[in-house]
Chains A and B, each alone.
Chain A
Amino acid sequence: MSENKVIFEAKNLKKYFPASGGKMVRAVDDVSFSISEGETFGLVGESGCGKTTCGRMLLGVYPPTEGEVLYRGRGLGTLDRHERMDFCKNVQMIFQDPYACLDPRMSIGSIIAEGLHVHFRLNQEETMKRVKEQLDRVGLTSDYASRFPHELSGGQRQRVGIARALAVEPRFIVCDEPIAALDVSIQAQIVNLMIQLQRELKLTYLFISHDLSMVRHISDRIGVMYLGSLVELAGNVVIHEKPLHPYTQALFSAIPIADPDHSWISDRIRLEGEIPSPLSAPPGCKFSSRCRMCTEECRKSPPPLREVEPGHFVACHRV
């Protein structure tokens, strides 16, 4: 990456949602990481681990219960109205469900133009020109501008979602499971498009997904979450080849391998039981209830995320 300028920093982020009976769902519990300009940061984990909540806190959609998000060194809460507008322009999101995230009553052109109206003073002609540029950029012809979402396939809709995010010329895009709802052959199209756009426009991505092999493919660094905590953070190759946290090891060994002579089902590292409810997470290390190497210490105190090798962080007492 060109320069190591930090664009986002999450500092001890916590997000608790109130649940019935006065309990708290600890969706994100003390997560810290930073994202540098131009990189793709992958956030993986199983459903309910808090990865989407993390992404939303970065965008300021959810205010954190504790901790703070720094955007280019400034806390999100301290931005004034003008800076806030600038932040919204620079930070965009691509959503998971291309069927639910486009307003069915708006034409594709007006969906893409909506952000332009908010952030730029453009006349009709200039707006249309920009809309067409965006459509062209994501591989759709300009006559799509007058169509409506129901006329489009899932892959085309996701392209519109990307065009809408790009229209306001952002620097940073949160991609929340952008390919989960698409077919295999279409997934590859969208991932290729995202990589190509990143190269052209020097974008920074936060790529949230549960598809581990795709995340490995697109990301520079990957963070693994389990039950609201970041358990491991490392470069994409390192985390696949030398995962250190027992959960990461189990997770990555469960990726299907297309090879008839290799039984990934038998060779994987087995996990005992299922993820505990976030209402009643174990007090010490959250993974302790399912860990093979668990000790007394693990059950009592939560392990801090520490750097074991340059750039490789693990939260485990036993590593």
Chain B
Amino acid sequence: MDNILEVKNLSVSFMSYIGEIRAVRDVSFSLKPGETLAIVGESGCGKTVTVKALMRLFGNSAAVIKEGSQILFRGQDIAKMKKTDLYNIRGSGIGMIFQDPMTSLNPTMNVGDQIVEGIRTHDQKISRRDAIARAVKLLELVGIPSPEERIKNYPHQLSGGMRQRVMIAIAIACSPDIIIADEPTTALDVTIQAQVLELLRELKDKLNTAFILVTHDLGIVFDFSDRIQVMYAGRIVERGTKHEIYKNPVHPYTWALLNSIPRRGLQSKDELYSIKGTPPDLMLPLESCPFAPRCDYAMPICKARAPQEIALSDTHGAACWLLHSMAPKVERPGTLRGADNE
């Protein structure tokens, strides 16, 4: 199948008064129809900026998509598209679910109007009554009880989980080909998080849309996505199918992320694996490997030159000097090797 989305050499910078902050640096990836891709990383690694760039959702911020970046959606380049063409894609081509449903919904509009707004923007022929009927169906689809009543509610009258369901209803209203979910469950409690993820998974199967899930929580991605992409300091450091990332992670940063979740086998009060230091300053040019100062396996070359991505299979690749043929062989941390036995 052809890729529905192809991102090539995407770089995004913020022009601030102290200089250029290079939030996304030369990122390339693609997405097939119906596929789920997870982008994982800590705050400030550029994951949200990457997905916002896919719809050019930068508003008045000083973000600039750099020269040479290509974002091909159904063959059209979003990076160079006219604003009017962009409006047609936002919502109907690519939908977005934001992290915080309280600040992303309009507090002065009832939820029905917010869903209808999207539907009528993209389908000018539909009557208001039909659009409302569709909004009711959508609320039913996302599991909101008595949708005819709820449609008149304002966001403040709904709980966090309900609001996130409304956000999902808005995102799927125009049946987009891609839905981007930016930390959709971070603001929710665990039981609600599971409900929302289950709903998203059902919708994915029902509507056959492609999904991009952005999250910092490695725990939720394995059950939800087909492929995983780990980002650090604006770069993709490792990519692979979920089985490849789980069974055979190769980048020390991926090891660290996997290890910092307390696993079931771990004795309580044992020391948890932690990454020393803090994420790098994105103002710097980063000619070395950005993870080198925090890496337990750093070699002299890591501090001198940035590694290129090395492919391990069609789907699996990582940017790390340890994969170079001349690098010493290192063993993965013990707790991770246990995963191979399963």
Residues on A close to B: CB < 8 A? 46-47, 153, 155-156, 183-189, 191-192, 195, 210, 212-214, 216-220, 236-237, 250-251, 254-266, 268, 270-271, 273-275
**Which residue of chain A has its CB nearest to the CB of B193?**
A254
Chain B's nearest CB lies how many Å from the CB of A247?
9
Residues on B close to A: CB < 8 A? 42-43, 145, 159-162, 189-195, 197-198, 201, 216-224, 242-243, 246, 256-258, 260-264, 266, 268-269, 271-276, 278-279, 342
Partner of A256, one of B219, B269, B279: B219
What residues of A have a CB within 8 angstroms of the CB of B272 in the complex?
Answer: 188, 191-192, 217
A183 in contact with B216 given A213-B261, A214-B262, A274-B159 (CB within 8 Å): yes
Determine whether the beta carbon of B190 is less than 8 Å from that of A212. Answer: yes
Determine whether the beta carbon of A188 is less than 8 Å from that of B260. Answer: yes
A271 in contact with B191 given A183-B216, A236-B268, A260-B242 (CB within 8 Å): yes
Determine whether the beta carbon of A216 is less than 8 Å from that of B268. Answer: yes
Partner of A217, one of B216, B224, B269, B274: B269
A-B contact pairs, 22 of them (CB 8 A): A153-B278, A155-B278, A183-B43, A183-B216, A184-B42, A185-B274, A185-B275, A188-B272, A188-B273, A188-B275, A189-B275, A195-B271, A219-B268, A220-B268, A258-B263, A259-B342, A260-B222, A265-B197, A265-B201, A265-B223, A270-B195, A274-B161
Determine whether the beta carbon of A274 is less than 8 Å from that of B192. Answer: yes
What residues of A have a CB within 8 angstroms of the CB of B276 in the complex?
Answer: 189
Determine whether the beta carbon of A184 is less than 8 Å from that of B189. Answer: no
A261 in contact with B342 given A183-B43, A185-B256, A217-B268 (CB within 8 Å): yes
Determine whether the beta carbon of B43 is less than 8 Å from that of A265. Answer: no
Docked complex Cα distance between A216 and B267 (Å): 10
What residues of B have a CB within 8 angstroms of the CB of A191 in the complex?
Answer: 272
What residues of A have a CB within 8 angstroms of the CB of B216 in the complex?
Answer: 183-184
A183 in contact with B42 given A254-B190, A260-B243, A265-B201 (CB within 8 Å): yes
Docked complex Cα distance between A263 and B222 (Å): 8
**Which residue of chain B has its CB nearest to the CB of A196?**
B271
What residues of A have a CB within 8 angstroms of the CB of B266 in the complex?
Answer: 217
What residues of A have a CB within 8 angstroms of the CB of B263 in the complex?
Answer: 258
Given contacts A153-B278, A183-B279, A188-B260, 16 further A-B contacts (CB under 8 A): A46-B191, A46-B192, A155-B278, A185-B256, A188-B275, A195-B269, A210-B190, A213-B261, A216-B268, A217-B269, A237-B268, A254-B193, A256-B223, A257-B222, A260-B223, A263-B223
Determine whether the beta carbon of A254 is less than 8 Å from that of B191. Answer: yes
Docked complex Cα distance between A216 and B262 (Å): 9
Determine whether the beta carbon of B159 is less than 8 Å from that of A258. Answer: no
Chain A's nearest CB lies how many Å from the CB of B268?
5
Chain A's nearest CB lies how many Å from the CB of B243?
5
A258 in contact with B190 given A184-B42, A192-B271, A265-B223 (CB within 8 Å): no
What residues of B have a CB within 8 angstroms of the CB of A271 in the complex?
Answer: 191
What residues of A have a CB within 8 angstroms of the CB of B160 in the complex?
Answer: 47
**Which residue of chain B has its CB nearest to the CB of A189?**
B274
What residues of B have a CB within 8 angstroms of the CB of A220 in the complex?
Answer: 268
Partner of A251, one of B191, B217, B219, B257: B191
What residues of B have a CB within 8 angstroms of the CB of A259 in the complex?
Answer: 222-223, 246, 342
Docked complex Cα distance between A256 and B264 (Å): 11
Determine whether the beta carbon of A184 is less than 8 Å from that of B261. Answer: yes
What residues of A have a CB within 8 angstroms of the CB of B198 in the complex?
Answer: 265-266
Chain A's nearest CB lies how many Å from the CB of B46?
14
Chain B's nearest CB lies how many Å from the CB of A17?
19
Docked complex Cα distance between A47 and B243 (Å): 34
**Which residue of chain A has its CB nearest to the CB of B224?**
A265
**Which residue of chain A has its CB nearest to the CB of B43?**
A183
Determine whether the beta carbon of B268 is less than 8 Å from that of A218. Answer: yes
**Which residue of chain B has its CB nearest to the CB of A235?**
B268
Partner of B260, one of A184, A216, A255: A184
**Which residue of chain B has its CB nearest to the CB of A263?**
B223
**Which residue of chain B has its CB nearest to the CB of A44?**
B190
**Which residue of chain A has its CB nearest to the CB of B161?**
A274
What residues of B have a CB within 8 angstroms of the CB of A255 in the complex?
Answer: 190, 219
Determine whether the beta carbon of B262 is less than 8 Å from that of A210. Answer: no
Partner of A265, one of B194, B257, B268: B194
What residues of A have a CB within 8 angstroms of the CB of B161 in the complex?
Answer: 274
Partner of A258, one of B195, B201, B258, B271: B258
Docked complex Cα distance between A214 and B274 (Å): 13
Determine whether the beta carbon of B260 is less than 8 Å from that of A264. Answer: no
Determine whether the beta carbon of A256 is less than 8 Å from that of B217. Answer: yes
What residues of A have a CB within 8 angstroms of the CB of B219 in the complex?
Answer: 213, 255-258
Determine whether the beta carbon of A218 is less than 8 Å from that of B269. Answer: yes
The 7 tightest CB contacts between A and B, nearest first, are A256-B219, A188-B274, A46-B189, A185-B275, A188-B272, A189-B274, A254-B194
**Which residue of chain A has its CB nearest to the CB of B275?**
A185
Docked complex Cα distance between A155 and B279 (Å): 11
